[in-house]
Copies of this chain bind each other. A is one copy, B any other.
């Protein structure tokens, strides 16, 4: 038995496939979606068997809001975007994951939501490495790899 609430948590394989790992905040794993159309992050609470925010404990809900705000501020500062889009949908991948997306007027889907709007466009390695470097510098990560 363990009191670590992260025990039993594994990242859903579909989320692993679509993303690169930025690192871990106290509650959430932070992932960068491999789509250069928009700087697009996912926050995944490291808690097993959670599909809805309301299934988290009240303390974790509060921590999640705090981490969404931390990621929002850093993403806004790095990208100088026009709008943040924040969403927990999960109709396809049942593991709770929160999208935080930097939207700019004139981006590939603007002003529509990003889901299904245009095919993803893979990052070139340099751009992706730079973005991840900036995120790792500015987020209070407890682990990055």
Contact = CB atoms under 8 A, between A and B. Distances in A.
Nearest to A82: B91
A72 B96 CA distance: 15
Interface stretch (A2-10, A14-22, A25-33, A108-116): A108-116
Question: Quick one: copies of this chain in the complex?
Answer: 2
Contacts of A65: 61-62, 64-65
Interface residues of A, number: 30
Contacts of A115: 112-113
A83 to B, nearest CB: 6
Given A61-B65, A116-B112, A73 B89 contact: no
Interface of A: 51-54, 61-62, 64-65, 68-69, 72-73, 76, 83-92, 103, 110-113, 115-116
